[in-house]
Structure 1
Amino acid sequence: MSESKPRGVRPPAKEARKVPMRDFSQSLPMALLRAREAVMRQFRPNLRAHGLTEQQWRILRALAAVDAIEVTELARVAFLLGPSLSRILRDLEARGLVQREVDARDMRRGVLSISTKGLKLIAQVAPNSEAIYATIARRYGARKLAALHKMLGELEQSIGGGGETDAGGDD
């Protein structure tokens, strides 16, 4: 029996393929993903040390900013798809970090809030998180970081951001 190449795998091209679009290295979604990954590499060890994933932390941070929030609104502000959010919330509820109640005005809707235990966890994570922010600001430059935040906000506003809840992106 002879060995065959896996289906769909081709040997590397000798010349770069010409495609009718910008070079992959100039892809804005990819540049943003690379920058996000570089930033998150700084934060992940701190989150892991406290038994948190990036998505769990995102949810806790979003909940800490409000008294209570409806589940679909939390999915929107945390940029998570509904099925992912449901799975993550089950874990956070089991750990006693979030609380779910029925909306008094509409019994079909669930309203979430962060628990006292969740706030205590944020207080434990926060000092290292703020130290990481300070390191990033020192290495990149505080003014440049503030300008980057401003420019990213302007980019989001100019192209009508905020509608999608899938954190990935391709171009």
Structure 2
Amino acid sequence: MSKTKIHRNLPQLLLRARDVLLSHFRGILTHYGLTEQQWRIVRTLREQGPLEPNQLCDACQILSPSMVGVLSRMQTQALIVRERAAHDQRRIIISLTPQGQAIYERVAPLVEAQYRLIEDTIGHDLIDQTYAQIDRLLSAPLDQVPAVELPPVED
């Protein structure tokens, strides 16, 4: 009798790795009153410039329903501003305010210092290999993988 290989739960392992790594950054973000989602938005807007909400959702890996609430809180905190696009009044553009820029300037060096501490502890090679393997996985044709055929639903 042949044994079927049972794969490890890759999505669960990736989530665990994410949580372990993020635990090293949460203290910095909390110190400045930011959530992880808010920091992703601040960092993305600082690095990519003003974006439409759907672009921001894609870049930050935040679902649209969640993004609405996060952006509202960030606007209340004066970290971002929403403006109508000059070329198309139906479109909204999100950008950092001067206060949002300032928070980036305070937090980014601490985040980079924490990355260096992680690299110094676990090794630059492991970090470089991890980036390379994740890039390789993300560039694989995962969108072309067929779905397993499902059996009929039993009543």
TM-score bracket for the superposition, by shorter chain length = 0.7 to 0.9
Q: Which has the higher contact order (CA 8 A, sep 6+)?
A: 1
Equivalent in the alignment of 1:61: 43
- The secondary structure found in structure 1 opposite 2:95 is strand
| Consecutive unaligned residues in structure 1, runs of 5 or more | 1-19, 162-171
Equivalent in the alignment of 2:146: none
Deviations 1:133-161 (A, max 9, x none): 01110111112201211110110110447
Instruction: Say what the alpha-carbon RMSD is for the aligned residues.
Output: 1.5
Q: Is 1:131 the equivalent of 2:147?
A: no
Q: Larger C-alpha radius of gyration, 1 or 2?
A: 1
Cα distance in 1 for residues equivalent to 2:108 and 2:56: 21
Cα distance in 2 for residues equivalent to 1:160 and 1:64: 30
- The TM-score with structure 2 as length reference comes to 0.85
Cα distance in 1 for residues equivalent to 2:110 and 2:6: 39
Equivalent in the alignment of 2:6: 22
Q: How does 1:1-171 map to 2 (within 5 A)?
A: 22=6, 26-160=8-142
Cα distance in 2 for residues equivalent to 1:47 and 1:99: 21
Displacement after TM superposition at 1:56 (Å): 0.5
Q: Which amino acid aligns with 1:98?
A: I
Cα distance in 2 for residues equivalent to 1:42 and 1:22: 32
Moved over 4 A (4+): none
Aligned residues: 140
Tell me the percent identity: 32
- The TM-score with structure 1 as length reference comes to 0.77
| Consecutive unaligned residues in structure 2, runs of 5 or more | 144-155
Cα distance in 2 for residues equivalent to 1:51 and 1:121: 10
